[in-house]
Chain A
Amino acid sequence: MITWLWSHVNALLTTLARLVRTPVATLLNVGVLGIALALPAGLYVGLANIQGYARSLAANPQLSVFLALDAGDADVAGTETRLRGHPGVASVRYVPRDEALTQIKSRTGLADVVDSLKENPLPDAFVVQPRDATPQVLEQLRDELRGWPGVAHVQLDAVWARRLEAGLKLARLAVWLLATLFAFALVAVTFNTIRLQILTRREEIEVAKLIGATDPFIRRPLLYFGAVQGLAGGLTAWAIVAISLYWLNGGLADLSQLYGTRLELQQLSARDGLSLLLFSAVLGWFGAWLSVNQHLARLDLR
């Protein structure tokens, strides 16, 4: 039992020693694996975020009512009164065109652009909170408001959100397809790494067998190598995704102030991250296993 445990510890130490002994090759391999895994993992996080955003929109539907650009104070006052008096409307917030422009000016880097405009291109707008959030009622309300005089455009975020969700289903499928492709790449890279290891360690393997090494003794470090390399690739991918999201969130902070909502991309959850690590380690092990089966047999050892 102790001997068995020792043989595993030794195999793992041997593996780590080999990884450290060829730092450049190790870094390159782990880098390639990390990037290959970061792509589907990043898309996955992106989708999860868009999905969460779409859900929050769908759960909290708002109508944006934009007036015509040439609408005067009377139109604004009239529309506001009609909206407040409408039985289907819970609350109304008025966003004057000048306020919208100052916001853009102060919160984005577009001050110069805004200043260069001859006139304000933004319309006056109302943000309407409906009493009833069922899709049909919302769409009816939208169609009704559209017909009002002075109203140029009515936007229903919830409908857009639902369409988005349908699109997301497709995108998720694409992510899984991509993940499968990159999983294949990971297996292929590991397969080749292990093949090279077997070729360069040919003598060592031969001598070990001649002095009584069992097959597991010879295979174990190679399998560990695949698993450890895969795991390192998974960790790298996780780090790439985390750092990218951190940067993106920095940029988003400005943007979200502009829209008055909190836009923040969520990181990969601990559960998803650990799944990624497990997934990459298992794939690495599998690639090594395929390679070992294929190439050890070819060495024609006695």
Chain B
Amino acid sequence: MISFSKVWKRYPGGLEALRNVTFTIAAGEMVFITGHSGAGKSTVLKLTAAIERPSGGSIIVNGQNVGALRPGAVPYLRRNFGLIFQDHKLLFDRNAFENVMLPLQVNGFERREAARRVRAALDKVGLLAKEKAFPITLSGGEQQRLAIARAIVHRPAILLADEPTGNLDAGYAADIGELFRSFNQVGVTVVIATHDEALAARLQPRVVALKAGVIVT
């Protein structure tokens, strides 16, 4: 489903974030990309979603060569994913409901069907009662769950999450972990970039470990 083959990524400035990275993730798997800060975890996710382009090697997602996609095809590639960003990227001038609505608008859903799905997604992450709340009024854990609701609302086959438990205390982190487990159990491929060892111990995923841009396991 996702396959990196001898991938290099050199950022402007000459820094090599990934060096000769090769791995494959099958449909329905749960995989953690681990490593210290600066190891290249986020870069792997960004390359997968064509947010960055590889400097060398090939990245295949669902049979498409991501590095060679024309710009017009990129949006359609991204709709395969549910993206959870390290910094949430929630819109602070919209309430919870409207934030989760965005991917469905992007995908051109009819309004009533979209509203139904938004509520289902908010219910799934336990925020149905807060659909009118603005992100600024939510706790860190709630913001993270809102970001997750937005990522899953269009029912993507692949979930890409960047440090989803980054700055949450243990209780919240465990909740988030259980959410990912439940998505994976219904067949969603889950890829999480994290250095949270407790989360790994809990979910027992397959691990791709990076160290300074090189795979070490």
**A interface vs B, CB < 8 Å?**
2-4, 6-7, 10, 203-204, 206-215, 217, 302
Contacts and interface: CB of A to CB of B under 8 A. Distances in A.
A211 B51 contact: no
Interface in B76-109: 76-79, 81, 83, 85, 89, 91, 93, 102-103, 105-109
Nearest to B109: A6
A6 B89 contact: no
B75 A207 contact: no
Given A10-B111, A302-B51, A210 B91 contact: no
Given A210-B89, A212-B75, 8 more contacts: A2-B110, A3-B108, A6-B109, A207-B89, A207-B91, A210-B78, A211-B102, A212-B81
B52 interface: yes
A213 B108 contact: no
B108 A211 contact: no
Contacts of B105: 10
Interface of B: 49-52, 72, 75-79, 81, 83, 85, 89, 91, 93, 102-103, 105-111, 150
Contacts of B102: 207-208, 211
Contacts of A4: 108
A213 B52 contact: no
Residue in B103, B105, B111 with the greatest tally of chain A CB atoms within 10 Å: B105
A212 B89 contact: no
Contacts of A302: 50-52
A35 to B, nearest CB: 31
A214 B76 CA distance: 8
13 contacts: A2-B110, A6-B109, A10-B111, A203-B91, A209-B75, A211-B83, A211-B106, A212-B78, A212-B79, A212-B106, A214-B75, A217-B75, A217-B106
A174 B10 CA distance: 61
A302 B89 CA distance: 15
A279 B124 CA distance: 50
B75 A213 contact: yes
B47 to A, nearest CB: 11
B66 to A, nearest CB: 13
A302 B46 CA distance: 10
Nearest to A203: B91
A85 B110 CA distance: 86
4 shortest interchain CB distances as A-B pairs: A212-B78, A212-B79, A3-B108, A213-B106
A208 B106 contact: yes
A259 to B, nearest CB: 62
B178 to A, nearest CB: 24
Nearest to B85: A210
Contacts of B110: 2, 6
A6 B108 contact: yes
Contacts of B93: 204
Contacts of A214: 72, 75
A217 B81 CA distance: 18
> Most chain-A CB neighbours within 10 Å: which of B76, B77, B78?
B78
Contacts of A213: 75, 106
Nearest to A4: B108
